[in-house]
Amino acid sequence: MYRRLNMSSVNATIDHCDVPYKFTYQALSGIMIAEFVLGLPLNLSVLYVFIFRFKFWKNKSIFLFNIVVADFLLVACLPAKAYHYLHGERRSTDDLACKTMLFMLFLNRGASIAFLITLSIDRYFNVVHLGRRNFVKVLKKTPQISIFIWVLLLPLTIPTMLNTFECCNSHGREVETYYHDVTDTLREVVFFTQIIIPFVILVYCTVRIVNRLNKKTVGEKTKLRRAVWVVLSVLVVFSICFLPCTVARAVLLAVRLKKWQAAEDVAVQVYDSLMVLSYIDCLLDPVVYCFCNSGFKNAYVATFCPVSVQKRLITSESGQVSPTTTKTFSSPILEKKPEAEC
């Protein structure tokens, strides 16, 4: 009898991934489907331009191309995630599928953050420490560095693969053992540090670039304004896609450890909703590409926009330059100032 009661109390502390309110998750599944419908053609078009029209390997835009690859990892996960939400489950009942999904999402998030921050640091050195050797500019010319970043991100996903996580989110809900506690804590540390540390770096770079802009003369402000728009666009992506769900995650862990079940039901819905919101980074990243590299923007506009729009957008930026000036759609202005590119 005692054993039966004990097992009942243990089961009560384990989240079996049933959603608190099905209507909320059905709505979230609709949002993810919309993100998939919009994100798939957008990222396919961006990938086409990068490979066939802009030729990223010639224009030193390998880091931007890697962000496109990371976005595809995210877009590929959205249909399966939407399917489970639609059927009232926070994740797949199959442990392997659950871990695979979380692995893909962690890898996408880590890659997006790593390459976005790298671009911001590159722009920071180009503006604030102009004339000094920019190690980021040297590294981005080498494709092997991008491979190294991807390989370096893989160990960060190990905590998700060490143990079967209930709902892929077991911290504070498993039977307490040293192994579970260390594994779950390590995963939470990875989750928070990969957001907080890059955000601090991004804010620092933004403040320094803006201060540099305020101190420059009028003749030098055009390039600096472009640098400011680059780091601000990355800051917007962070503020919308990554920071809200990070704060919600901290609140969820707090109420879970306090065992406030009613508050946890609300916190779970808020956290999952903000995670769904974070998936729009696959829609916002192309804006970063346009601010970061005018050559890519010209190539994209020349490929997919009507001729009247091409003339209005490209001619207004580069004067008398047409979108077909060069084979790789990089304008002469950009070729004269390669430091303005990411």
Q: What is the pTM of this model?
A: 0.79
CB 77 within 8 A of CB 105: yes
Q: Please write the tens of the pLDDT for every residue from 45-90.
A: 999 998 888 888 777 788 888 889 888 888 988 998 899 888 888 8
Highest mean pLDDT among 52-56, 255-259, 280-284, 322-326: 280-284
Query: Which parts of the chain are beta strand (E)?
Result: none
Condensed to tens digits (0 to 9), the pLDDT of residues 150-195 reads 888 887 776 666 554 445 555 555 455 655 667 777 778 888 888 8
Other Cβ atoms closer than 10 A to 185? 12
Provide the token pair at 277.
């919101």
Summarised one tens digit per residue, pLDDT across range 194-238 is 889 999 998 898 888 888 777 765 556 666 777 788 888 888 888
**CA distances in angstroms from 108 to 71, 98, 158, 265, listed in the order given:** 7, 16, 14, 27
**pLDDT value at 301 more than 80:** yes
> Among all chains, which residue has been given the structure tokens 């990938």?
47
Each residue's pLDDT tens digit, 1-50: 433 333 333 333 444 567 778 888 999 999 999 999 999 999 999 999 98
What domains lie within the chain, and their CATH numbers?
19-292 (1.20.1070.10), 293-342 (no CATH)
Average the pLDDT over each of 67-76, 95-104, 163-172, 297-306 and give the range with the smallest value. Answer: 163-172
Cα–Cα distance for residue pair 184/165, rounded to 1 Å? 9
CB 301 within 8 A of CB 314: yes
* Number of neighbours of residue 9 by Cβ within 10 angstroms: 9
Which residue, among 313, 321, 266, 304, has the nearest Cα to 53 in the 3D structure?
Answer: 304
**How far apart are alpha carbons 1 and 39 in whole angstroms?**
55
Contact present, 59 and 341 (Cβ < 8 Å):
yes
Residue identified by tokens 């001619």 is 315
pLDDT band at 338 (very low <50, low <70, confident <90, very high): very low
- Please, what is the angle between helix 261-278 and helix 243-257, to 10°? 160
DSSP string over 125-187: HHHHTTTS--HHHHHTT-HHHHHHHHHHHGGGGHHHHSS--GGG--TTTSPP-HHHHHHHHHH
Q: How many residues in total does the chain contain?
A: 342
